[in-house]
Amino acid sequence: METTHEDNVASRQNLAVAARTGIFLAVLLALQLVGLPNPVTGTIVNAIFIFVLLCNGLRHAFILAFLSPLGGIISGHLPAPMYPVLPVIVCGNLALIGLYFILANHSMPMRFVLPALVKGVIIGGAGYMIVQILDIMATARWLLLPVLGVQFFTAVAGLFVGEKLFQSLLRGRGASV
């Protein structure tokens, strides 16, 4: 009987974590539809990734990282010439979250700058190669240069905001940070 109770508690906890992830996915997609400037939206999206990572775990943050670029297409934040770069954006998001997870116990500059830099290089560099290989119009090539810079700065800001939001939530619950 004791095992059944423990299984029920674990199932409820897993369901609660999945529900929170679903709510954050809805918030993330709705945020992209609001039409804020890309740097603002990118910062908040990256902050949500890190907040979900710290609250719900790596798998749940990866799910959001995988699905969020679709919101960029739906909302128009990702221009049509950039659609072939969608898998690269997903890889950049996954790298950002994974590296932050690995570097979470390192100093602030290291855990913010390195993941953001890798994300920017993946999206900018690999994206440029895809655009070159597919011989997509010159406009798409020039869109990638600002994207590289925007990705880096919104990633750094998002990492910072997501971490600080999580820490303030812990402080509000009386836990030590």
- Nearest residue to 69 via CA among 147, 165, 162, 133: 147
Q: Does 5 fall in a domain?
A: no
pLDDT tens over the chain, length 177 residues:
456 877 777 888 999 999 999 999 999 999 988 988 888 999 999 999 999 999 999 999 999 999 998 888 888 777 776 787 788 889 999 999 999 999 999 998 899 999 999 998 888 777 677 767 766 666 556 666 666 678 889 999 999 999 999 999 887 776 544
Instruction: Record the pTM.
Output: 0.84
Q: Looking at this protein, which amino acid is placed at residue 68?
A: S
Q: Does 6 fall in a domain?
A: no
Q: Mind giving me the DSSP string for 132-161?
A: HHTT--HHHHHHHHHHHHHHHHHHHHHHHH
Q: Rounded to the nearest 5°, which phi and psi values hold at 32?
A: -70, -25
- Count the domains in the chain: 1
Q: Print the domain residue range for 140.
A: 11-168
Q: Does 177 fall in a domain?
A: no
Q: Does 156 fall in a domain?
A: yes
- What is the number of other CB atoms lying within 10 angstroms of the CB of residue 140? 22
Q: Does 159 fall in a domain?
A: yes
- Nearest residue to 60 via CA among 20, 28, 88: 20
